[in-house]
Chains A and B, each alone.
Chain A
Amino acid sequence: MSNASEKSQGAGLVPAEKLIFEQTTPGACAVSLPVADVPPADLRKVIPQELLAEAPPPLPEIGEQDLVRHYTRLAHRLFSVDGNFYPLGSCTMKYNPKVNERVAALPGFTGLHPLQPEADSQGILELLYQLRYFLAEIAGLAEATLQPCAGAHGEMTGVMIINAYHRSRGEDRPKVLTPDTAHGTNPATCTVCGRFAISVASRPDGRVDLDDLRKKVDEQTAALMITNPNTAGLFDPQIADIAEILHAKGALLYLDGANMNAILGIARPGDFGVDVMHYNTHKTFSTPHGCGGPGAGPVAVREGLQEFLPGPQVVRREDGTYGWAWPGPRSIGRVRSFYGQIGVLIRAYAYIRALGPEGLRQVSEKAVLSANYLAARLREHYRFPFAPPYAHEFIMVPEFREHGVTELDVAKRLIDFAIHPPTMSWPVAHCLMIEPTETESLRTLDGFAETMIRIAEEARTTPEILHHAPHTMPVERLDEVTAARKPDLCWRESTEPAEAADNT
């Protein structure tokens, strides 16, 4: 690896890229707009003086080719599923089929106004109605809402439904239990929904500690939010017992469906005791992550809870037409404007239609196979805190502390081999959480295994290479402490240009 001081940001395929504001040329514009075809309104007459701006804000001005070059260069400074193996645990970074992008971009979908008449929207309504049914069937639950915008928004919708259910029975249950391995959104959701999150311990084998659960469930408990398979990649075989313990106290079982990629067509949450769950379409159904969204977080509920779903709900009327209707007076209400992340839901629909029942089952079979294969290949080189078999992801711990090498060093070193780092340090201290997904070839899986073995070797023999990794990116490790202490979140004219401080 080359020495840091030999490189500057200006090299080769990934040249340095100034901020768009530093490339502004007064008078330039990437867009041509038509000349006015109506008489101009008399601004001073139609808008009160005190509301009129003196001048438009100083947006950048740039021509079309330079604009294209700017964003193309930024795109090249970015790892992605299309360019890189991306075994980011819990995020299900599987291949995003190109055909789904094509169909979601059809003008017959993108050019629809949400308030246009239902009669003009029968195609999209039919699609949404079908998807609503597909998601209920895959969950083994009675009905699904497509409204929530992402996983965390689905959690919020789900906990609100649970609150509404308890209230309808004249109860106010302030507590929600979350296993200590829960994703951060679970406890955060509890607070946003006016509940208290209470942590439940895991056993050394990574499963829920039933004794601790029994101790903590009472008549004040609204629900347990569980992830199964859990965030350590382990299916909890006690799931039916867990459901029973909760139900005996009148509490409900909520499933964080982030890990549905492990059980599609194999086990259904509704069949193992779950009352309410959310999906992440951007994980399980391969809608792309888009640098952090948009996703979608549909929520499915058991028979008896439908009346609490948010509205409006897509329905099929007696005459065979589709439309929108309110679930009833006990609905929790709206969780967003209009109906949902429609463009994302179209991709989820296309994915499910393309694969069919057998194809979905194979998704989970091959996702689980790939994870267990990687675990088998790495078992001698890293510590595995939990015994196999694993679900669609697994956890391992790099044990190189005596060489001063942390999980962060190992993860960052992977970048030099064009592999995106796994999830780190959660849900077990110092771990790496690896999720290969079903779409990778054996060649890629083997390449990853060999790279991880090589890095383990490096950790023992040349640890300094790891400390400063990555060495091949346009930037090296960042000063995140100063970033947080003296936040610079917005460019200002006075911000010094990049070159001035380029002390390479």
Chain B
Amino acid sequence: MQYTQLTDADVRHMLDTIGVRDIGELFRDIPPSARLDRPLCLPAPLTEMELLADLNRLAGNNTSVDDAVCFLGGGMYDHFIPTVVDALASQSEFVTAYTPYQAEASQGALQAFYEYQTLICMLTGMEVSNASLYEGATAAAEAVLMARAITGRRGVVVSSAVHPHTREVLATYLKELPIDIVVVETLDGRIRPEGLRQAVNDQTAAVLIQTPNVFGCLESLDQFSAIAHGAGAIVIASVDPISCVLLKRPGDLGADIVVGDAQPLGIPMSYGGPSCGFMACREQFMRKMPGRLVGATRDRAGRRAFCLTLQTREQHIRRERATSNICTNQGLLALRVAIYLSAMGRRGLAQVASMCLDKAHYAAQKLSDLSGFELRFQAPFFKEFVVRTTKGVDRVLAHCRSRGIQAGVPLAPWYEDLADSFLVAVTEKRTRAEIDAWAKALSEV
């Protein structure tokens, strides 16, 4: 295929206008030694029909949630996405525009991002949201850098029940910076106030807590906020945005910066990305925030209008003194999130959250009838929980897979001491029949 439109006659005319004989002359600044003297070693071009055949083959060589019932979580969830979200987010103006630097020609995107920011503030109980970051783990890492800039301190305290990918990304980001990471261990799936109290000190810039945590357990964010604030540290909460309609919002529990991955809000799992990182904070920290911010203002004629604002924080103005190096963010996914939240609305999202809670607890309840399976932790949970088995995790998961069920995520790769356990997520999409089939498959092992 070719996506260019210039004909041979066009090319001739253009070369004549430029005043060169051939296209090669336009590349004369590239010295011969730097040139490639052979064609690239890539497969031959495909027609559209051939391309579709190739991609259909590749897509067909995967087992998707349509083929095997998905109880997998651990950071990505099989939530329902209403058709209207796909339809609206795939409007080609949204898909093919650039970052809305030119406000007059970009009011549609700017208004949508202003609405997104407001929706994220509503969900998190915060005052200011940016217009998205890459995804949940990098958003948490950016929040730690932000807390360091705010406090000028050099330590960060992280719960061991923060998703391992988030902790790994944080370690990568901090490797070359003078910041130390202190990990607080859990007891029965949660961190304890005493543990946190011992870990924080007057050099702690931030405490990073995930709730529900990687095991699905709810942390006592309010208690931990008090401890962190007592030491003058910033509280960063990483949350599941859907849990925020049922549970007290992190902003109401003392968080200063709230981050997370917005994938549950209308974004397909797509094998892990692209999703959308969100970040919201208290107003006093606004000028330390990374990423783009959209503000409401007026135009010359006094009409309400929206524009990118506080850009002096950003790399294109502040260069090496910017709050972050982020430029391209996750615009189209933020738009999806806004559409999803508006489509669901207050009651729809509350219903989704209740269904997750009810179905997860129904599934967990089923374990009590099974021998060789039990809930690993007693802590309260929302839509995800850990199952311990005496029957061998791999064997259990393989058996369920043979019954058309992805029964859970093995925890051995993440936690050595949980080699006998797997993580189970139950969303509103799972029917009672599917949950019963999941329990039956477990019982057969």
Is the beta-carbon distance between B355 and A332 smaller than 8 angstroms?
no
Is the beta-carbon distance between B42 and A357 smaller than 8 angstroms?
yes
Mind listing 19 A-B residue pairs with CB under 8 Å? Answer: A7-B301, A19-B118, A29-B345, A43-B357, A53-B245, A60-B341, A72-B91, A120-B406, A153-B326, A184-B316, A237-B31, A291-B331, A294-B332, A339-B272, A342-B270, A390-B26, A482-B298, A489-B294, A490-B129
Answer whether residue A362 sits at the interface, using C-beta atoms and an 8 A cutoff: yes
The 6 closest A-B pairs by CB, nearest first: A338-B272, A108-B59, A290-B332, A123-B61, A356-B45, A114-B272
Docked CA distance A27–B292 (Å): 33
Q: Which residues of A contact B222 (CB under 8 A)?
A: 50
Q: Which residues of B contact A160 (CB under 8 A)?
A: 172, 175-176
Answer whether residue B127 sits at the interface, using C-beta atoms and an 8 A cutoff: yes
Cβ 8 A contact of A478, one of B121, B246, B297: B297
Given contacts A77-B107, A195-B176, 5 further A-B contacts (CB under 8 A): A60-B345, A121-B62, A267-B30, A290-B94, A475-B103
A440-472 to B contact mask, C-beta < 8 Å, 1/0: 111000000000000000000000000010100
- A2-21 residues with Cβ-Cβ distance < 8 A to B are 4-5, 7-9, 17, 19-21
Docked CA distance A142–B131 (Å): 36
Q: Which residues of A contact B374 (CB under 8 A)?
A: none
Q: Which residues of B contact A361 (CB under 8 A)?
A: 39-40
Docked CA distance A343–B54 (Å): 16
Q: Which residues of A contact B52 (CB under 8 A)?
A: 99, 102-103
Q: Which residues of B contact A187 (CB under 8 A)?
A: 315, 319-320
State how many angstroms separate the Cβ of A94 from the closest Cβ of chain B.
Answer: 7
State how many angstroms separate the Cβ of B42 from the closest Cβ of chain A.
Answer: 5
Answer whether residue A381 sits at the interface, using C-beta atoms and an 8 A cutoff: no
Answer whether residue B389 sits at the interface, using C-beta atoms and an 8 A cutoff: no
Docked CA distance A397–B301 (Å): 30
Cβ 8 A contact of B74, one of A17, A115, A197, A341: A115
Is the beta-carbon distance between B332 and A293 smaller than 8 angstroms?
yes
Which one of B10-18, B180-188, B191-199, B225-233 is at the A interface?
B10-18
Answer whether residue A304 sits at the interface, using C-beta atoms and an 8 A cutoff: no
- A29-71 residues with Cβ-Cβ distance < 8 A to B are 29-31, 33, 36-41, 43, 46-48, 50-53, 56-62, 64, 67-68, 70-71
Answer whether residue A434 sits at the interface, using C-beta atoms and an 8 A cutoff: no
Is the beta-carbon distance between A490 and B40 smaller than 8 angstroms?
no
Q: Which residues of A contact B273 (CB under 8 A)?
A: 114, 149, 294, 336, 338-344
Q: Which residues of B contact A236 (CB under 8 A)?
A: 29
Interface residues in B, total, Cβ within 8 A: 210
Q: Which residues of B contact A237 (CB under 8 A)?
A: 29-31
State how many angstroms separate the Cβ of A120 from the closest Cβ of chain B.
Answer: 4
Docked CA distance A361–B103 (Å): 35
Docked CA distance A68–B88 (Å): 7
Docked CA distance A159–B321 (Å): 17
Answer whether residue B428 sits at the interface, using C-beta atoms and an 8 A cutoff: yes
Is the beta-carbon distance between B66 and A111 smaller than 8 angstroms?
yes
State how many angstroms separate the Cβ of B176 from the closest Cβ of chain A.
Answer: 3
Cβ 8 A contact of A291, one of B72, B100, B347: B100
Is the beta-carbon distance between A490 and B121 smaller than 8 angstroms?
yes
Cβ 8 A contact of A40, one of B29, B271, B319, B358: B358
Q: Which residues of B contact A121 (CB under 8 A)?
A: 62-63, 271
Answer whether residue B284 sits at the interface, using C-beta atoms and an 8 A cutoff: no
B360's closest neighbor in chain A, by CB? A41
Answer whether residue A325 sits at the interface, using C-beta atoms and an 8 A cutoff: no
Q: Most chain-B Cβ atoms within 10 A of its Cβ — which of A59, A101, A293, A421?
A: A293
A193's closest neighbor in chain B, by CB? B176
Q: Which residues of A contact B314 (CB under 8 A)?
A: 184
Is the beta-carbon distance between A355 and B2 smaller than 8 angstroms?
yes
Is the beta-carbon distance between B346 and A368 smaller than 8 angstroms?
no
A106-B303 CB under 8 A given contacts A48-B380, A52-B248, A337-B75: no
- B258-300 residues with Cβ-Cβ distance < 8 A to A are 261, 268-274, 286, 292-300
Cβ 8 A contact of A17, one of B44, B111, B123, B428: B111
Is the beta-carbon distance between A357 and B40 smaller than 8 angstroms?
yes
Is the beta-carbon distance between B351 and A151 smaller than 8 angstroms?
no
Answer whether residue A188 sits at the interface, using C-beta atoms and an 8 A cutoff: yes
Q: Most chain-B Cβ atoms within 10 A of its Cβ — which of A59, A79, A185, A390?
A: A59
Answer whether residue B412 sits at the interface, using C-beta atoms and an 8 A cutoff: no
Q: Which residues of A contact B145 (CB under 8 A)?
A: 192
Docked CA distance A389–B82 (Å): 51
State how many angstroms separate the Cβ of B69 from the closest Cβ of chain A.
Answer: 11
Answer whether residue B244 sits at the interface, using C-beta atoms and an 8 A cutoff: yes
State how many angstroms separate the Cβ of B220 from the closest Cβ of chain A.
Answer: 8
Cβ 8 A contact of B295, one of A37, A52, A488: A488
A153-B298 CB under 8 A given contacts A61-B347, A109-B271, A504-B303: no
Is the beta-carbon distance between B93 and A123 smaller than 8 angstroms?
no
